[in-house]
Structure 1
Amino acid sequence: MATYSRNRLTQLLPFILSLLLLGLNSGQVQAAPKAELWPLWQPTVATGQSAVPDFKHWENFLSQYVRRYADGLNRVDYASVTPADKAQLKALLEQLSTTDPRGWGPATQKTFWINTYNLAVVSLVLDHYPLDSIRDIRLSFSSLFNGGPWEDKTLSVTGQELSLNDIEHRILRPIWPDRRLHFALNCASVGCPNLATQIYRVETLDQQLDAAEQDFLRNNRAVLWQPGSNTLQLSSIFNWYQVDFAANENQLLDYLQQQGAVSPGILSTPDLKISYDYNWNLNTDS
């Protein structure tokens, strides 16, 4: 009987894992990591000892392979990326492993981490392309439960291995509490704010972040009014990271109204319903 049970469990295990992965991939509501500072990355007194990397190859990649479509979505032509261009991105990531940003000025550090995050995401997708979603990338056992490679150590800075979540939630968000970061960081998905066609620069960072915020808020991926059901559908970003935008949902709606993303008439609709949605399909143009 014990042998039969073990054999039966072995047969069912792939089916059980498939159901688990299906549930993880299809779920739209998930708990986002809190912003908790990793003390190692706390900025120090500016010394300028480590040279700021040149993101020229990353900018060349963006200008060549990222295209804006009529629906307002910037799509990436992953299929056309040459081996040489892919190798240049890898070389830049390798250079970052010996770079120490902590002694730079605050704006320089913030810009560095935004560019590094987006570069790391695209490089990761290219390593596993073709695929339907970045959430299909499973690099470790923990990936099964994190809905993708967010906790996997996929790059190194200052010789310290880092995950995408480390950059977003343990460096950027706690050191620079700025809601606009959510519009600058791209997760290679249709539902995500656009991957910019240019790198972020220190001298224009605030203007670029403002533009990224407005670009997303004007698109129905962020806010979609469905009058037939009196439903205001919002990006799940506003649910996962509500704390970065407002203290509660009512204040979140005030923020969206102040930004011109929602009209006062919609907010005064009787029996107004709020829903959240996110499209994890890969932001590819092929």
Structure 2
Amino acid sequence: MNRIFRRGLLSLLVVAAVVLSNGPRPHAQDSSSGGDALHKPFDEVLDLYVRDGLVYYLALRSDRGKLDRYIASLGSQATATAYPGWTRDEQAAFWINAYNAFVLRTVIDQYPIRGRAKEYPSASIRQIPGAFERLTHRAAGRSVTLDTIDKMILPEFKDPRLHLALGRGAIGSPRLRSEAFTGQRLEAQLKSVETECPTRSECIIVDTTTNRIAVTSVVGWHEGEFVTNYGNSGKRFTSRSPVERAVLAFIEPNLFATEREFLDKDQFRVTYSDFNWELNDLTGRSR
């Protein structure tokens, strides 16, 4: 009897071991079931703490657990293993989200920021030494800085709109969205970024009184990519430089009718706006 009991118990243990070994592994599955699944926690963080491109940094600093766990998942071995199998759009969305998450962490690690560098506002991410070029982060098996993502990784995707999706922790940056980017929706999200740009003074100013079009410095930082993608769009403005033609081709489809009429006269100059590095902090602001 004891022998039969022991034999039955052993069989049950073997079956249980097989079931457990083939059962779900939540952490690995979240990262490998497609790149988009990884970003749900970040989507929740952005939805809660970001309004019209501004961030409740004080509240986020006090409740940073979800952000920190998300950032840890970006640098996990499971993510590094899964990344090569993602679609190109999933990979691009990953790097946009990683950049934006790293910016948020960089700010709240030092918040409230009160720096002394005279060339920047006292409350500015630029007051954090090495915020863009030296502080390192782990993502997809790599050690990266913010500049690494912006200047080396994103250009590989050959879509300059990606740079306009980055929230640089500054008022002058294109608007930080209240949602995470995903591979499945990337084109629609980037189209929204493209459409919105000419409607926001941080991105484009069409000044008909001074015959000037002021463009965000972000375009200037990535001139080559914009020229490659937009410099040969149509036969308009042929007397202008490749950079100006690219800028105009990028913004014109989304301008108001009166602004397009202003462009038709071709009597304006194109300049880059001074970038406003004031922290995009919603804490204490009136809505």
Q: Normalization by structure 2: what TM-score?
A: 0.70
2:222 counterpart of 1:225: no
Distance 1:50 1:63 in 2: 21
2:92 to 97, 110, 127: 110
Structure 1 residue 158: Cα displacement: 4.3
Structure 1 residue 268: Cα displacement: 4.8
Closer, same or farther in 2 for the Cα pair 1:82/1:123, shift >3 Å? closer
Aligned residue in 2 for 1:81: 60
Q: Gaps (5+ residues) in structure 2?
A: 1-28, 114-122, 232-241
Distance 2:244 2:175 in 1: 26
Structure 1 residue 82: Cα displacement: 5.0
2:136 counterpart of 1:136: no
Q: Any residues of structure 2 matched to 1:28-43 within 5 Å, and which?
A: none
Q: Any residues of structure 2 matched to 1:1-286 within 5 Å, and which?
A: 51=32, 52=35, 54-68=38-52, 74-81=53-60, 83=62, 85-98=63-76, 99-100=79-80, 101-131=83-113, 132-138=123-129, 143=130, 149-174=131-156, 176-246=157-227, 247=231, 248-251=242-245, 252-260=247-255, 263-268=259-264, 272-277=268-273, 278-286=275-283
> What one-letter code is carried by the residue in structure 2 that aligns with 1:168?
D
Conserved? CA contact 2:204–2:213, under 8 Å: yes
> What one-letter code is carried by the residue in structure 2 that aligns with 1:94?
A
Which protein has the larger Cα radius of gyration, Structure 1 or Structure 2? 2
Deviations 1:171-214 (A, max 9, x none): 2212x101210221110111111111111122211101101121
SS of residue paired to 1:102 = helix
Structure 1 residue 127: Cα displacement: 0.7
Structure 1 residue 159: Cα displacement: 4.3
Structure 1 residue 256: Cα displacement: 2.0
Conserved? CA contact 2:30–2:38, under 8 Å: no
Distance 1:266 1:260 in 2: 10
Between 215-224 and 243-252, report the one with greater CA deviation: 243-252
Distance 1:233 1:267 in 2: 13
Q: Gaps (5+ residues) in structure 1?
A: 1-47, 69-73, 144-148
| Structure with the largest fraction of helix | 2
Q: Normalization by structure 1: what TM-score?
A: 0.70
> What one-letter code is carried by the residue in structure 2 that aligns with 1:80?
A
Structure 1 residue 254: Cα displacement: 3.2
Conserved? CA contact 1:225–1:233, under 8 Å: yes
Between 89-98 and 192-201, report the one with greater CA deviation: 89-98
- TM-align CA RMSD: 2.4
Closer, same or farther in 2 for the Cα pair 1:127/1:263, shift >3 Å? same
Structure 1 residue 274: Cα displacement: 2.5
Length, aligned pairs only: 223
> What one-letter code is carried by the residue in structure 2 that aligns with 1:263?
E
Conserved? CA contact 2:87–2:183, under 8 Å: no
Structure 1 residue 259: Cα displacement: 3.5
Matched residues, percent identical? 27
